[in-house]
Structures are given as C-alpha cells and as structure tokens.
Amino acid sequence: MLPAGEPVLCSWGKASLYFLQIEIPPSYLEHIARESGLLKEGFVQLQLKYYVKDPKLLQLGLWLLEELQNGGRQGKIYSDSLSNMLTLHLLNHYSQVCTGSTPSRMTANQEIYQSIEYMKENLEAELSIQELADRAALSLSHYIRLFKQQTGHTPHHYLIRLRIEYSKLLISKGEYGLKEIADRAGFSDQGHFTRMFKRIAGTTPKQYMNEVSANRIILK
C-alpha cells in the first residue's frame, strides 16, 4: 500500500502471479474524507504499508473487478457504492491526517520524469545531484526545488529510497550476500547501506533477510 507519489520497484520470478492494482486519486481520497467527516483541516494520505493482509479490502477490490469485467451490469450506483466503501475502509484503517496545505504530487513534468527514469536505470552508478541537474538541463537549485515540488522528496532522498526498494528485491531473490547487494544497489559501503536501510525500512538488512528467509520456508 503506497501513498501517491511514493517510489517503488517491483519484481517477480517466472512463477504465475495474479494481482489487482487499484489507484485512488488524492483528490478523491480527500473528497470522501471530508464528506464522511473524517477530515476537517489539512490533508489526508495513505500510510506506507507492506504485506497487508486484509480480507475485507481484498473482497471489495474483487467485487469492483467483477463489476468491471461484467461491463457495469449492476449500474453506476452499485460501482460508486463499492468505490466509496473501499475508500472509507482505507481511510479508517490505513490513512493519516497531515497539517498544512496539500503536498505537490508527481506531474507530467518531462524533465523530472526523465530524471527519475535515469535514476532507476543507473542505481548501481555513483550518481551526483549535479549530474542529474545537468541531464535535466536545469540549474542545481532549480532542479532540487522542482524535483521536491513534483515528488515531495529531495533528489538525494528519492534516490536513496529507490536504492532501498531495489535492495529489498535483491534480498527477496535469495541469490546474493549483503555486501554484493549493497554494491548492486549503489551504496558506497555496507555500513552506509545498513544505516540507510534501517532509517527507511525500520530494520537492518540482515534482519530483513532473515524475515524473508523465514517466510520463504513457511510458504514451502
């Protein structure tokens, strides 16, 4: 479960995988929150959650999928009711109210979009913010300001989060040691990797690896 604009990388092996992706515009989330009385000031956003097991949320999503596949046979009132119920469930269980004005989200700004794509394609490289600004044909200060307006993060913080997400994928594959994972994810040394991983993921790479290994054994 990801807030709007949150960076994420996904990967899976050759096994069959079925998933349902539901995207909720922040404006719709806020509309339902205000209409239901859950939000009076500030703005609301979803919390970052991994490995959520929520049967009710899954069922609502499957009902929406079924209605979509049936061509809206039950009518707009039915589909709108399902959408509202799903959104309210998310608001009641997985949201947080923030003070201040609504943050800027990712837009179609071509320079920033291309910059993020370049980050994703070169996570192993030693990227500098100046290099990214030069590639976007922007001054360093303008690039940093524009990037934060579009994503809610500084370029450096966004890049670190991408690298942490990538390292999680490498850990989940179970094919590499932590030192090689740190190198592949673009960290200068394993100590830096461990510090950044714990700061963002809330646990150490070793603890995360042990948890993934334990879950893999259970699934077998």
- CA angle, corner 141, sides to 140 and 144, nearest 5? 85
Q: What is the pLDDT of residue 45?
A: 82
Q: What is the pLDDT of residue 107?
A: 39
The answer to whether the beta carbons of residues 84 and 32 sit under 8 Å apart is: yes
Query: Virtual CA dihedral for 133, 106, 98, 45, nearest 10 degrees?
Result: -140
Q: Mind listing the pLDDT tens digit for each residue in 25-41?
A: 887 888 888 888 888 87
Q: Which CATH superfamily is domain 119-219 in?
A: Homeodomain-like (1.10.10.60)
Calpha distance 201→192 (Å, rounded)? 14
pLDDT band at 167 (very low <50, low <70, confident <90, very high): very high
Taking the whole predicted model, whether its pTM rises above 0.85 is answered as no
pLDDT at 129 over 90: yes
Q: Output the DSSP codes for 59-101.
A: HHHHHHHHHHHTTSTT-HHHHHHHHHHHHHHHHHHHEEEE-SS
Any idea where the domains of the chain sit in the sequence? 26-98, 119-219
Q: 120: how many CB neighbours lie within 10 A of its CB?
A: 14
Q: What is the pLDDT of residue 4?
A: 74
State what percent of residues in the chain have pLDDT above 70. Answer: 85
Beta-bridged to residue 97, according to DSSP, are 44
The answer to whether the beta carbons of residues 216 and 174 sit under 8 Å apart is: yes
Output the six-digit token pair for 25: 């515009």
